[in-house]
Amino acid sequence: MRRASLALAFWLLAGAASASPPGERDLSSGWRFRLAQGTEADAHEELKKDWLPAHVPGAVQTDLLALKRIQDPFWRDNEAGLQWIGLSDWDYRLDFDVDAATLARGHVDLVFDGLDTFADVSLNGRKLLVTDNMFRRWRVPVRDVLRKSGNVLEVHLRSPIARLLPWLMKQPYSLPGEFDSAFGDEPKGKQTSNYVRKANYQYGWDWGPRYVTLGIWRPVRLESWDTTRLADFHVAQQHVDADSARLDAQFDLRADKSGPVMLKVDWTAPDGSHGHEERSVALAKGENHVSLPVAIAHPQRWWPVGYGEPNLYRFHAEVSADGATIARVDKDTGLRTVELRREKDQWGRSFAFVVNGVPIFAKGANLIPFDSFPSRVTPERMEAVLRSAKDANMNMLRMWGGGTYQDDAFYAAADRLGIMIWQDFMYGGAITPYDPAFRENARIEAVEQVTRLRDHPSIVLWAGNNEVQTGWDDWPDRQDFRKFVNADEVKRIDEGMRELFGKTLRKVVADLSPQVPYWASSPSTDYEGPANVENDGDYHYWKVWSGSEPISHYLDMTPRFQSEYGLQSFPVMATIKAFAKEDDMQPESKVMRAHQKFANGDGNQRLLLYIRQEYGEPKDFPSFVYLSQVMQAEGIELAAEHLRSARPRSMGSLYWQLNDVWPGASWASVDYFNRWKALQFHAKRFYAPVDVVPLRRDGKTDVFAVSDRTADFEATLRTRVYDMRGKLLRETSRPVRAAALSSTKAVTVDDATLLKGADPRRTVASFDLLEQGKVVAHHLLYFGAARTLALPKPELSTSLRDDGHGLVLTVTAKRLARAVWVDTGDLDVRLAQNAFDLLPGESIDIAIEGKVDVDALRRVVNVRSLVDALKETTP
């Protein structure tokens, strides 16, 4: 798939003279590397002697790991002992020959799709490039430097820390950054990451390790042509509705001489219908931006998952001269409109995504990088995580700004799956320099990335940064910084950020992708007022977890769009065993603290705080792990359903976070190995298209029928109250008209009415929404925190069978079972359902996804519930 994407990228980026097709030479094979001479790494002097085989795309860390020169960076506490790699300089070298045909071309360019990060590039002893941005593509003419045989391409990579820290230590101040190094390579408060365009998370975050990578992290190639090169092809969507689409097929051509060319565009619709347009244009010498109008009647529009099909059109474009094709490209894109609707109303000002005229409640999570080492991420791995999101009924993911822009394969998968992408520019929260050179570097980066990605219909927002504005305005270290630095300098810093995020990046998006809205910062009001306010813009809520406030406080906030909030948990035991030994299995062990990045390892005490508040004391380490997931899942469920019930006041729930960069404790709902935690199974239910939501406060419960359907439907709300040991105490039903794209309050009922004198510690209420007699949504309600309830031992039983379509596991509870978890040990199978409650006498059939031997599964399957995990239970 990577080779195929390279070929596609080449057709997009290279053209040729009329008689000769464009040429490409992949230079990703045959590289060698070594520790640079003069680097102070005495314990590793042997790495300076010999050139070792390298992988491109790759990084020094992954090359050393492949050669077994270092241990697994994720195993136990190896992280601390591997920091020397990012503090050292490294050299990469490629020896290669070039055929005569390439040397005969009019132009030959050397193209690096990504260099990480400070690099000096030379070819045959001639210095070609000095790079300073991980996110940019670097192109340089090399025709006059190449020779037929014995070419030597050298890349000298400089440690970003070693290069910048001496300079930073001489400055009158250091800009506030994110997380100080835990390893002493940078003094406290002296963070170099602010000053370089490199993935922030690699310097360490509160969910991931510190691995400052160096390497040729994206493909490298030679591109050759004669007189004309197609630099870009873009399908601009001037107008799209149900009746017609008016498009502008835009070609960016670079020509050595003036003359006529023919532009041709063929399109194919999802249903197989097709059309053709062509026109002749005259090229001038130099840069040419030319276009061809395309009209499509009754377009099959692209829709987010849950609202229609994610339809994609195939566009085939050609440029020809004198009857011969000089460039061609194929591009898939979806036809749709997207609006970020902000209208004044009784709650302030709205923040809602509207696709093809339909307001969409955004259901999803924040996406962080897939790995500490980006070059290890395959298209298949990215798509697997995206499918996990879709399977959990998510329709939006926020690509967080402290990582990297993803490969084209990621966005293509999101296009196919109908998942909307909120795309941050890569600024993770640190305060940015205000000098013009930094801003110009950032502008070029933005131009390249928006140009590369703008035809993906999944991208519905470009956001300038993550938490830069709210951090600058409100965080204590920023407030202290303002007091330390003189007022004129504070003003320059503030104006520099406003210029970059309020104007520079906004203009790039407006010029290159005007059909997609831009948002200056998350959270913010787009520089139209203070950031992170409840009644306008998007909101990050961290008083629960970071502020240690009770989970119930999620009900106190109803922002217009909640783009961050979260609770931590550990991954399943199978994942923990991938980085730890048996002796490490304690919350406060050295290894568990090393894989807990919140508060320098103290996050496990925060986990225990919330576990004890809600459930009680874990009886052992596996119970601690299990309870952390139960707490996370039930807490985020409360918040997400509160937000959905508040529609249209609230129009988005993106919890923090979907995925992990390594195995460890974090806010993720899908771990590093794409194993689902309890939260992901809960999300599948609380993000379902139809949900019934009982919210209890102060002895009263409001019950909502929440619907993402685009048409009203008639339903019945059934309320049943049970004794936890199995007795049905009462049952009522009432009709409900569930309004389209709405939350409808079905009933308000107090505890006294529900309980009718029953003991709240031993009673549970069940709410079902039925359509034509079929349950379409189900929810249980408890009358207090789990630790206050007299939960019975449920006496769970299981059976396993093959129903002809695959394996099915049946779980039955004799009495109420709270937080049932089916554990399959080290067998990597996916369960259709997990992390659920069962009413007394209730059974559930769970389809088993994945190839597994029935006997092997029967040997390892284990089922537990909440009462099994606590030191003390009430009979």
**According to the 3-state scheme, what is the secondary structure of 257-312?**
CCEEEEEEEEEECCCCCEEEEEEEEEECCEEEEEEEEEEEECCCCECCCCCCCECC
CATH number at 796-869:
2.60.40.10
Sheet holding 138-141, edge to edge: 23-26, 220-225, 107-112, 138-141
- Give phi and psi for 617, each to the nearest 5: -100, 125
**Which tokens go with 756?**
């009718």
CATH number at 227-333:
2.60.40.10
How many distinct helices (H) and strands (E) make up the chain? 18, 46
Q: Parallel, antiparallel, or unpaired: how do β-strands 562-564 and 539-540 relate?
A: parallel
Q: Is 509 in contact with 501 (CB distance < 8 Å)?
A: no
Reduce the DSSP state of residue 491 to 3 states and report it: helix
Residue whose tokens read 């006059």 = 144
522 burial (CB, 10 Å; 0-12 / 13-18 / 19+) is: buried
Residues in the chain: 875
**Distance from C-alpha of 396 to C-alpha of 57, rounded to nearest angstrom:** 29
| DSSP H/E element including 441 | helix 436-453
**Distance from C-alpha of 153 to C-alpha of 52, rounded to nearest angstrom:** 15
Residue 66 CB: number of other CB atoms within 10 A? 14
Q: Is 249 in contact with 288 (CB distance < 8 Å)?
A: no
Buried b (16+ CB within 10 A) or exposed e, 629-668: bbbbbbbbbbbbbbbbbbbebbbbbbbbbbbbbbbbbbbb
- Of 842, 864, 858, nearest to 801 (Cα)? 858
Q: Which residues of the chain have pLDDT under 50?
A: 1-19, 874-875
Residues 6+ apart with CB under 8 A from 853: none
What pLDDT, on a 0 to 100 scale, did the predictor assign at position 551?
98
What pLDDT, on a 0 to 100 scale, did the predictor assign at position 20?
59
Q: Where in the chain is the domain with CATH 2.60.40.10?
A: 227-333, 690-788, 796-869
Residue 276 CB: number of other CB atoms within 10 A? 10
**Distance from C-alpha of 713 to C-alpha of 787, rounded to nearest angstrom:** 39
Superfamily of domain 2-221: Galactose-binding domain-like (2.60.120.260)
Q: For 537-585, what is the HEC assignment?
A: CCEECCCECCCCECHHHHHHCCCCCEEECCCCECCCHHHHCCCCCHHHC
Residue whose tokens read 């879709």 = 390
Q: Is 801 in contact with 810 (CB distance < 8 Å)?
A: yes
Residue 51 CB: number of other CB atoms within 10 A? 13
Phi-psi category of residue 193: left, alpha or beta, with phi > 0 → left and psi -120 to 50 → alpha: alpha
Superfamily of domain 690-788: Immunoglobulins (2.60.40.10)
What pLDDT, on a 0 to 100 scale, did the predictor assign at position 21?
62
**Distance from C-alpha of 621 to C-alpha of 869, rounded to nearest angstrom:** 10
CATH of 361-424+534-685, one of 3.20.20.80, 3.20.190.10, 3.40.50.720, 3.20.20.10: 3.20.20.80
> For the residues of 63-112, what is the DSSP string, one character each?
HHHHTTSS--TTSTTGGGGGGGGTTS-EEEEEEE---HHHHTSSEEEEEE
Q: Parallel, antiparallel, or unpaired: how do β-strands 763-771 and 742-750 relate?
A: unpaired
Q: Is 351 in contact with 536 (CB distance < 8 Å)?
A: yes
DSSP state of 676: B
Peptide bond into 833 cis (omega under 30): no
**Distance from C-alpha of 632 to C-alpha of 252, rounded to nearest angstrom:** 50
Alpha helix (H) ranges present in 650-750?
Answer: 678-686
| DSSP H/E element including 379 | helix 379-391
Q: Where in the chain is the domain with CATH 3.20.20.80?
A: 361-424+534-685
Q: Is 684 in contact with 393 (CB distance < 8 Å)?
A: yes
Q: Is 119 in contact with 129 (CB distance < 8 Å)?
A: yes
What pLDDT, on a 0 to 100 scale, did the predictor assign at position 540?
98
